[in-house]
A and B are shown apart, each in its own frame.
Chain A
């Protein structure tokens, strides 16, 4: 459907993008207002922009520590999940395995599991292993989210790689593992990378496990850390706005660089070619 875009269409686009971005715009404008102007004042722009809120946001709470925690946990999760999932997805799409439908069904079901249904046994397990308030304490439960998700997405990408290459590799005497490593993996690398980004974002955003397992402030991740900026009595909106801007910047960069890949990954799992 290659309709031409008229002027009305562009006006619609601008309005649409403005509405979607409005919360970010407003939060950013708030973050550079002086404390006194945040309350009882709905002016869009301040005459005296200041970075006080940013200084407070990182001094009153260990925001950079939260970001480091999130980064380490998400990276470890991504590496482990992709490692296991790429092997499994390859086998599921290529090798003659019985009960493929059933296995894929289990994997899909697992990716939709409500986290609340598994949190208490996972909590007991992590506590028994002495892993509360540590990186591994979060990486292990995050496998529950990321492994099924990555198998599911990777399977779609692997499907698109032509069979012929594999057959010729087989004829040349390559073992299935060699075929995987030398032929499939290089061809599948873009798909693997895309899946990696999605898994990374999913792990970065996770809240429930992070809230229950890593309760010490030092070990909190970004989402939990941000939600604890508000205390019982006061809500320092200036600090929160600044903190929100700081933690959103890496995501904006990630999205700007990889937007095509992200869209490809998101849609591959749900749309038939």
Chain B
């Protein structure tokens, strides 16, 4: 009975992570047609190849006929012979004759090929490399001939044929598997380290403040009083509203011209100008952390309050009888008994803070000058603004590894407590 849910969980989380890792090993970009797929092997785009190959022989014959002298004609003929030789080598490869025939037929009937397995065929790596080198060299040769020739007709045709060779060249796709070189690139990337540092600063600062404030609030309101409902509701609302909406609100409150918070901070002398909050690096980081503290401290207090309520009052009475002061009671009774609740709350909050995206993205956009850019934002920009899925996946994998590392550390501290009460 667990199977359906477990399979779903694995399908929607573990499988994509594996995919992200796989993607990160390729030079994989959605904007570049020759890199928009992941090939571990050299490939040929048969649709393009067949279309161009259909014309190239006749074009080369025409060109050879127009050649001003025998030497040029011979050079053109040589190119043609070579191309035909490469073609027959291609056709001899496993199963390619049939596939080529099928593609050729579809092109002849003007049918677009949407089936990827038909369109692309794996080819021998050496063949692909040799062919691409030859095509590039011939392209240069023809361009040289075209520029050197006095006859206009020949010159134009030579130029066109050179263009066709170039298209054939792009139909032969060498593997874009680049192994770990994306990783070595990002390990030397200053922006990556900066965003990682920003993420750590944000996580540590906000979680630390939230813990201290949350604990203080929890202890203060852990008593019987009138109006619990109002307090509970007012604490839950910041937690319940979408982070993006909260970020918009704080964007308004921090605004250098209209922002009330910026205005009061300036009035009270906390900052020397109202615009500091969103236009300087430190101000930006402070703003982001402050907004996060506002949104999640109540939640933290709530978790810790629930933990506090499980501590029996008799323990405090006993401590009092033994002459322990309030402060001693806090250190000797409250903290040890609250330890596991604190650690679990810390684990959830740390992981949540580490993957921060929407708060910063909406509030500062990672600015000013990338000073508040978190690693998730950098990954998002690389993936979707630059459409560079290979490089962006490296950043995704880095986020994933950090999260895995943080949780391992926490689980070591918490031990098996976490699973107690859930599994028998």
Residues in A with CB closer than 8 Å to B423 are 92-93, 100-101, 104
Establish whether residues B13 and A113, one from each chain, have CB atoms under 8 Å apart when the complex forms: yes
- CB contact between B403 and one of A113, A222, A255, A273 (< 8 Å): that residue: A113
- CB contact between B419 and one of A97, A101, A112, A212 (< 8 Å): that residue: A101
- CB contact between A109 and one of B255, B316, B407 (< 8 Å): that residue: B407
Establish whether residues A147 and B5, one from each chain, have CB atoms under 8 Å apart when the complex forms: yes
B119 contacts A by Cβ under 8 Å = no
- CB contact between B252 and one of A85, A241, A254 (< 8 Å): that residue: A241
Establish whether residues A24 and B225, one from each chain, have CB atoms under 8 Å apart when the complex forms: no
Establish whether residues B248 and A240, one from each chain, have CB atoms under 8 Å apart when the complex forms: yes
Residues in A with CB closer than 8 Å to B223 are 1-5, 9
| 0 or 1 for each of A131-149: is its CB under 8 Å from B? (1 = yes) | 0000000001101100110
Task: Name which residue of chain B comes closest to A86, CB basis.
Answer: B5
Establish whether residues A212 and B384, one from each chain, have CB atoms under 8 Å apart when the complex forms: yes
Task: Name which residue of chain B comes closest to A140, CB basis.
Answer: B12
B154 contacts A by Cβ under 8 Å = no
Establish whether residues B258 and A87, one from each chain, have CB atoms under 8 Å apart when the complex forms: no
| 0 or 1 for each of A79-101: is its CB under 8 Å from B? (1 = yes) | 00000110110111101010011
- CB contact between A106 and one of B9, B313, B358 (< 8 Å): that residue: B9
Residues in B with CB closer than 8 Å to A273 are 310, 421
Residues in A with CB closer than 8 Å to B232 are 259-260, 263
Task: Name which residue of chain A comes closest to B306, CB basis.
Answer: A267
The winner among A1, A16, A222 for most chain B CB atoms within 10 A is: A1
A199 contacts B by Cβ under 8 Å = no
Within A220-241, the residues touching B (CB, 8 Å) are 222-224, 226-227, 229-230, 235, 237, 240-241
Task: Name which residue of chain B comes closest to A156, CB basis.
Answer: B422
The secondary structure that dominates the A interface is helix
Within B234-257, the residues touching A (CB, 8 Å) are 234-238, 240-253, 255, 257
A56 contacts B by Cβ under 8 Å = no
Establish whether residues B233 and A255, one from each chain, have CB atoms under 8 Å apart when the complex forms: yes
Residues in B with CB closer than 8 Å to A84 are 4-5, 8
- Bound together, the chains give a CA A23 to CA B397 distance in angstroms of 36
B48 contacts A by Cβ under 8 Å = no
Residues in B with CB closer than 8 Å to A114 are 351, 354-355, 376, 396, 399-400, 403
- CB contact between A208 and one of B13, B251, B298, B380 (< 8 Å): that residue: B380
The winner among B222, B294, B354, B358 for most chain A CB atoms within 10 A is: B358
Establish whether residues A88 and B225, one from each chain, have CB atoms under 8 Å apart when the complex forms: no
Number of A-B contacts (CB under 8 A): 301
Known: A114-B399, A207-B357, A207-B358. A120 touches B393 (CB 8 A): yes
B277 contacts A by Cβ under 8 Å = no
Establish whether residues B396 and A90, one from each chain, have CB atoms under 8 Å apart when the complex forms: no
- Bound together, the chains give a CA A132 to CA B168 distance in angstroms of 33
- CB contact between B242 and one of A125, A207, A270, A271 (< 8 Å): that residue: A207
- B222 vs chain A, min Cβ distance (A): 6
- Bound together, the chains give a CA A252 to CA B99 distance in angstroms of 62
Residues in A with CB closer than 8 Å to B302 are 263, 266-267
| 0 or 1 for each of A108-119: is its CB under 8 Å from B? (1 = yes) | 111011111111
Within A1-56, the residues touching B (CB, 8 Å) are 1-5, 9-10, 12-13, 16-17, 20-21, 23-24, 26-27, 30, 38-40, 42
Task: Name which residue of chain A comes closest to B9, CB basis.
Answer: A110
B299 contacts A by Cβ under 8 Å = yes
Establish whether residues A255 and B396, one from each chain, have CB atoms under 8 Å apart when the complex forms: no
- CB contact between A244 and one of B5, B222, B249 (< 8 Å): that residue: B249
A192 contacts B by Cβ under 8 Å = no
Within B329-352, the residues touching A (CB, 8 Å) are 340-341, 344-345, 348, 351
Q: Given A93-B423, A270-B307, list of 19 further CB < 8 A pairs?
A: A1-B222, A20-B298, A21-B234, A23-B246, A23-B294, A42-B263, A87-B2, A90-B1, A106-B14, A116-B380, A116-B399, A117-B20, A147-B9, A205-B242, A226-B244, A255-B233, A259-B229, A262-B240, A271-B310
- The chain B residues found within 8 Å of chain A, CB to CB, are 1-2, 4-6, 8-10, 12-17, 19-20, 23, 217, 220-227, 229-238, 240-253, 255, 257-258, 260, 263, 294, 298-299, 302-303, 306-308, 310-311, 313, 316, 340-341, 344-345, 348, 351, 354-355, 357-358, 361-362, 375-376, 379-380, 383-384, 389, 392-393, 395-397, 399-400, 403-404, 407, 416-424
